[in-house]
Chains A and B, each alone.
Chain A
């Protein structure tokens, strides 16, 4: 994938693919790239103690180019991720990615002045040739572990992507056969839905309206007029650069949840059906206590919800005509629990 735009035409580090360069080597005549891989034998038991960089001045020049890529985690537990590689121009040698050749004056000498962990201070200036990174730098025993890790991580990543792919794809032969395994992998934390306005965008305004039976202070029962809660949401969203989820999603999605878990006869389907009913009721009661004058002074006994679905009128330049009459779906009256009635929902 050419995702990153590294400029492949940019001069590569002389010694081959990024990540294999030994920054502390003097700029040798480029060894043929083929020299880099040869896995098992090469580097590890350190090459003979390389030219010891004079500690003083060199150390000073060092760090900008010094690639802190010795896995020498300082004693900071929390920073493992920045790990050794955080030393900035450090990212340099990754020619392939940063597009940077060895431009900080090339291989910086006295490398691990900046790299070695806590121990470094105690042995300043002592130079060990910097090993290569990646598997090639490991001794055979560790190479096995690293290869294993690489294999496991690669497989898990691929399986994960496949699982997500199948959870998104339309029902097909594979998903019919392995639906259960896919669901178990993806749910609950990797659940996703990207059918954004697809296959067709919603073309109706669905408003949730409510009326209540309120016990007034004098003991009488009063039935309020219909309150259009969605219209209140719409008014709150108008001219609002950052609408709240309480205005844009709460009621809208509660209604979606309700209608998805109820049959045409308004009967709840399963656990989710009953949960969605309670949720919707708690929302409307909460909102009535906030905004409905009668409810504010009385105690709500029962509520009735209805949805009003109105077609979005087609654009003026279209010759289509659709009805502009709202279609109502009336739910039965629901009794409000004492907790909800007492304004327990906030």
Chain B
């Protein structure tokens, strides 16, 4: 009994005291936002056809559907072309800001608005990859995903270092300015009745905005520790809850995909993988597909292997080594899918989702590598040589900032 309560209180300490998985949350932030950024850039020439007011899924059609299903999209707030272009560019910028971890929480909110707006504007052009990004963009809002590998982390570190040297750190102006602009946007949207279609996302936006304001105000004006600690605890709990949901969501994806396949006759007779490879819409490299499906034995192994891995994955989380092996297998399979079925963005999104399960040690090494690669780039001839870093900054523990 005593041990139980001890474990329990340790658990509570853990989920309230720390935002767990800083590297995992950073890698999925970069993964999902990066995937969406690449997608938006790839579709830039086709943006009008996919999401614009005069595209085949016309403004009126989308308006009727969203009135029916209450999906959130800012693209239907105005019929104008300028509004559409503005939103698209903002969606691109928000993704870029989130990849870099610039004002991460705000960026994640704008990223979510961008993803939901574009996808809900034209639901019938999306695929599984869009679906993953749709969900994850919402979950990311609740995480503290900028703890490492972000501009925010770097700025905080610089400020901390300056304070440690006894220098005065100038007050941050960009944050409050950004907050004020967003507040104005929310007020205008609310005042002009743009939030009348569905309440969840507007409530989320308002709550997040109020939370950011509160966070700032408490940090700025309250001398007492209590309120700060409380906000910190709430932020940690939200983060940890969201991270758990993200991991569970990834498991649900694999479990659903796997368990439904078990019932299919083609998955049972070992030919299932052959068929997608020979659909006109999913065969960018027919020669490669033919090569892969030239042997019935190989097809059967891949078919059974796919089902086995998908069904097994959630259970392997209980064993670290098996889980890591499966992660490698699944990421490899998604890489193959990216090429062979012509689904690069779907695959990237799935790999990003898988990445939430990567081991911390691996992620730190990865960050270290990236940091060193960047260092070499920066030192290449023709560029200014950066001032030597203080010694302690070059320890492995600093991967976070250098990557």
Contact = CB atoms under 8 A, between A and B. Distances in A.
A5 B245 CA distance: 18
A76 B103 contact: yes
Contacts of B296: 315, 317-318
Interface in B140-171: 143-148, 150, 152-153, 155-157, 159-161, 163-169, 171
Given A86-B150, A249-B127, 10 more contacts: A36-B9, A37-B13, A71-B219, A92-B397, A149-B234, A150-B15, A198-B263, A278-B58, A278-B61, A346-B49
B164 A89 contact: no
A177 interface: no
A55 B163 contact: no
A121 B166 CA distance: 7
Given A71-B232, A73-B228, A237 B284 contact: yes
B233 interface: yes
A79 B105 contact: yes
Contacts of B326: none
Contacts of B245: 157, 160-161
Contact of B16 (A96, A135, A313): A135
A134 interface: yes
A44 B282 CA distance: 61
A160 B139 CA distance: 11
Looking at A116, A131, A193, A243, the one whose CB has the most chain B CB atoms below 10 A away is: A243
B267 A200 contact: yes
B275 A79 contact: no
A97 B172 contact: no
A76 B361 contact: no
Interface string B209-244: 001110110111001011111111111111001101
A271 B175 contact: no
Given A104-B397, A138-B229, A315-B274, A86 B163 contact: no
Contacts of B271: 314-315, 318
Interface stretch (A13-21, A218-226, A326-334): A13-21
Nearest to A128: B225
A29 interface: no
A251 to B, nearest CB: 9
B179 A121 contact: no
Interface string B58-76: 1001001100111110000
A71 B234 CA distance: 11
23 contacts: A4-B20, A5-B324, A6-B360, A17-B10, A17-B13, A72-B228, A79-B105, A81-B104, A82-B104, A86-B150, A88-B401, A104-B397, A133-B16, A138-B230, A145-B230, A150-B15, A188-B72, A197-B275, A201-B276, A234-B281, A252-B281, A286-B56, A345-B55
Contacts, number: 509
Interface in B294-326: 294-296, 299, 317-320, 323-324
Contact of B54 (A161, A278, A316, A344): A344
A216 interface: no
Contacts of B42: 242, 244
B69 A187 contact: yes
A188 B70 contact: yes
A246 B127 CA distance: 12
B272 interface: yes
B261 A199 contact: yes
Given A59-B165, A243-B284, A250 B219 contact: no
A47 interface: no
Contact of B397 (A36, A103, A190, A199): A103
B196 interface: no
Contacts of A99: 360-361
Contacts of A160: 245
A34 B5 CA distance: 10
Given A7-B361, A135-B12, A86 B157 contact: yes
A25 B52 CA distance: 59
A99 B293 CA distance: 44
B13 A60 contact: no
Given A124-B166, A134-B233, A199-B260, A82 B153 contact: yes
Contact of B13 (A135, A242, A279): A135
A282 B219 contact: no
Interface in A307-327: 312-318
A74 interface: yes
Chain B residues touching A, range: 35 or more
A153 B125 contact: no
A270 to B, nearest CB: 9
B114 interface: no
B5 to A, nearest CB: 8
Size bin of chain A's contact surface: 35 or more
A91 B18 CA distance: 9
Contacts of B174: 76, 78
B283 interface: yes
Contacts of B157: 63, 86-88
Nearest to B272: A201
A77 B362 CA distance: 32
Given A36-B10, A193-B131, A203 B266 contact: yes
Contacts of B52: 346
A82 B150 contact: yes
B21 interface: yes
Contact of B295 (A76, A188, A317): A317
B57 interface: yes
A89 B398 contact: yes
Contact of A117 (B124, B148, B219, B286): B219
Interface string B190-203: 00000000101100
Given A74-B219, A135-B16, A146-B234, A88 B148 contact: yes
Closest A-B pairs by Cβ, 5 of them: A134-B17, A78-B103, A114-B160, A5-B359, A71-B232
- From B18, B71, B120, B128, residue with most partner A Cβ within 10 Å: B18
A247 to B, nearest CB: 8
Nearest to B65: A275
Given A88-B397, A89-B395, A240 B46 contact: no
Contacts of B127: 245, 248-249, 253
Given A17-B13, A188-B70, A241 B344 contact: yes
A14 B210 CA distance: 39
B253 interface: yes
Contacts of B395: 64, 89, 104
B284 A194 contact: no
Contact of A78 (B55, B159, B179, B198): B179
